[in-house]
Structure 1
Amino acid sequence: MTSPAKLSKKAYEKELLRLQAELVAMQHWVVTTGARLVIVMEGRDAAGKGSAIKRITQYLNPRTCRIEALPKPTEREQGQWYFQRYVERLPAAGEIVIFDRSWYNRAGVERVMGFCTSQEYRRFLHQAPIFERLLVEDGIMLRKYWFSVSDEEQYDRFVARREDPLRHWKLSPMDLESISKWEDYSRAKDEMFVHTDIPSAPWYTVESDDKKRSRINVISHLLSTIPYEHVEQDLPEIPQRPQSGSYTRPPRGEFRYVPDAAAKLEEKKKGKKA
């Protein structure tokens, strides 16, 4: 199967901005109507989940849209019902919650790396569809996305992360295990889909070898599945600034100012032109 051509930067940026404006409208509808939206983002390491989430939330109000990326469970959480700590982070009315990895850790990383027992794994596959049906029956809009990346592209992204000091934090021994355990993760994903791809909460696969294309596709699809409408906002009037009264600003010398490091950049620019 031939991969589609890489999406051009110009076309990508224009469409992304349009879609982000629609996301803002969608969020305003969620807040106004008291809707609740949960977005589950799953996939292999380096599949592009994080960058897609960043574009989705870039212009959204963080007060009513939050990202949940849960760390390793504490000792107390390990003694809870598995779904319990995720329930605590579900949205209230008028909120959007994006899970950057979710309860599906148990069907992926925990299963492949042996962090859960076979009994815990089987119990999860049985309970996950029940749990999600309960969410949907209670009125929560649940969207589940799986980011699919080829082994060659994943490897190239790991190499790029290793060579970029700004992205070293994205590399961990656990991430790199996904290279040697590629087929194990594939089997785990396939079995997970068999048990949890249900009509009331289906999985949607995002082809993500081209990150720009995958971002456009996932945002477009998300918007197409939410029955939002454009709601008129009652924007406050900006008052006229009053005329200056008797206030006199204290001398600048009485305060500490951040040094103008940006001025050095202008000096360098002028030096190159000279």
Structure 2
Amino acid sequence: FATLAAFASLLCAPVLLAGAAPAPAPSRTLADRAGPAHPINPVDAALKPLAMAPATPMTNAQRLKRGLAPNRPKFPRSSPRKLAPRASSTPQPGCTPRYGALNVVGAGVPPAAFVARVPNEFGEYGVTADFADALVVLYLACPGSAAALPVDLVTQNGLADYTYFGGITGFANTSPDLEPGSANYAYLGGILSSTGASAPPQDAPNSFTYATGDAEDVESTIWSVSPVDGAVSARWVNTDGAPAPATQAVYFPAQNFLLLTADPAAVEAEYGPSDVVALTFV
């Protein structure tokens, strides 16, 4: 696994900054698919720009040289408001931080593609063929039985305020649940804090809600990273507390974003061309 220092010399995309302005409380809607097919993203939202973290995170030495405080450790942590039963607010002893990018492989993506550090205008992460623009994430590799638990992927150079890479329920969903036979989906975007392992969808601040004003639920602690080959898989938890069957990652090229679903064929039939992809931590 690469270290953060290895990525610092390569990741040099421009930094995009945007200020936040007061806004009305987000509204929540669920789709009724009795009528014509719905767009997969809002078409009439007054979108707000999202602040970005530096393309190349400064080391502690660089920060101290500029008179800045050292970086705060960005270990995965649980939300202080909603802790899942097995969630822990501190890293377990013996866990090792791993830094890397997320390689994306699929029929509809360019060769040597990665999850991009800059999301689309809706706050959803997409794909880039330029490694210099790749999103860098951190996770904790833990020994023993803890290795089987889902982890958080914490972004290092992506969205400034929403640093947990996770699922955000789709605005056109009929429910937050991902199931076979359903076109429900979850955008891959940024979440403010960890939702905790085995937690169902939670109402928490996220990049999509900030950008669009549409309130959606989220899950962050859904990832597994293979210690053998780096394969990254997701396990969405439905509202009844049971894992969604066969959660798969899908790339939606028309708007350059990634999503999770339990039925890629249903998503494609409802919303248009898309491709199942595999993610690998490299």
Give the structure-2-normalised TM-score: 0.21
Where relative contact order (Cα < 8 A, 6+ residues apart) is larger, the structure is 1
Higher helix share: 1
Q: Which is greater in Rg?
A: 1
TM-score under structure 1 length normalisation: 0.22
